[in-house]
Amino acid sequence: MKKTVLITGGTGLIGRRLTEMLLERDYRVAYLSRSEDKSYPDVSVYHWDIKKEAVDPRALDSMDYLVHLAGAGIADERWTDERKKVIIESRTESIELLAHIMKAQGQRPKAFVSSSAVGYYGADTGNVKHTEQSPPGSDFLAEVTKKWEEAAECVHELGVRTVKLRTGVVLSDKDGALPRIAAPARYGFGAPLGDGTQWMSWIHIDDMCRLYIEALENENWEGVYNGVASPPVTNAELTRLICEVLDRPQWIPRVPEFALDFAFGEMAEVVLGSSYVENARLRTTDFKYQFPDLKEALHDLLLKK
């Protein structure tokens, strides 16, 4: 009998590709959505309203597994005080609501996988190497991910096997960081951001989604895992490889930091920050990356027809 994976935030970058891969593996997929949009092929869509604490009961009745991806985009808008509140509450109140309903109604998924982020360690940690055992940072991104993971504990406390995947920079041809970084390079204007020495902990979108599936299926997985490939890469090296794969010249030495500060404000730390994160716990498992090499990943994503 087919198993059903209920996903919050299923229409985002990871959710869309994860849905495709789950359907290919003969799972049923259901979304919890704030809209009544039923246009997703092969996906059951159930309505929820977090502020009204309302969830279509059919969603929880049908689930075998639960995946939590919901959350307002970190880089979608400037970080005003109100936006920061939205970023945190969209990640925490949603899963707290589901945990409350599951507890009240006695419903439990077989496993729960929650997204988190390598921002847990801080947006800019220089050359310091971090593993899952490293302490959290003290900036806004660290605050977001700490509260995100604390909210996920509400489900774990119900006796559900829980996995938290601290996601790095997900490389995809559809959306996210890579199309924005590669766009200038396609026209011969590729350049590192800032001084280019900042570390980026990356992962191919397909490998990220395979981590979610492994976390759902493998009963030995529990707790926190860094969802990154190995090793990280500097922004300058990423830019060089993008230009090499696209067969384009690199235009200028770098995009100056003041230009990025002007464009992004406080949020500039997302693109200028250095994050060297290691996949220590994943290396103790049998998980095999499909794209362990960055150049191979860029070939796959940038040269698709």
Cα dist from 89 to 51, 94, 95, 158, whole Å? 10, 8, 10, 21
**Residue 137: per-residue pLDDT:** 96
Q: What is the pLDDT of residues 173-231, one digit of tens each?
A: 988 888 878 887 887 777 777 778 899 999 999 999 999 999 999 999 999 999 999 89
- Cβ atoms of 227 and 18 within 8 Å: the answer is no
pLDDT bucket at 262, cuts 50 / 70 / 90:
very low
**Residue 293: per-residue pLDDT:** 96
- Global confidence as pTM: 0.93
Q: Which residue has the tokens 């899963």?
A: 95
CATH architecture of 4-169+201-228+276-289: 3-Layer(aba) Sandwich (3.40)
Q: Is the pLDDT of residue 266 over 60?
A: no
Report the alpha-carbon distance of residue 218 to residue 290 in Å, rounded.
Answer: 18
What is the pLDDT averaged over residues 269-276? Answer: 76
Q: What is the pLDDT of residues 69-94, one digit of tens each?
A: 999 888 778 889 999 999 999 999 99
What is the pLDDT averaged over residues 249-275? Answer: 60
- Cβ atoms of 193 and 260 within 8 Å: the answer is yes
- Cβ atoms of 277 and 118 within 8 Å: the answer is yes
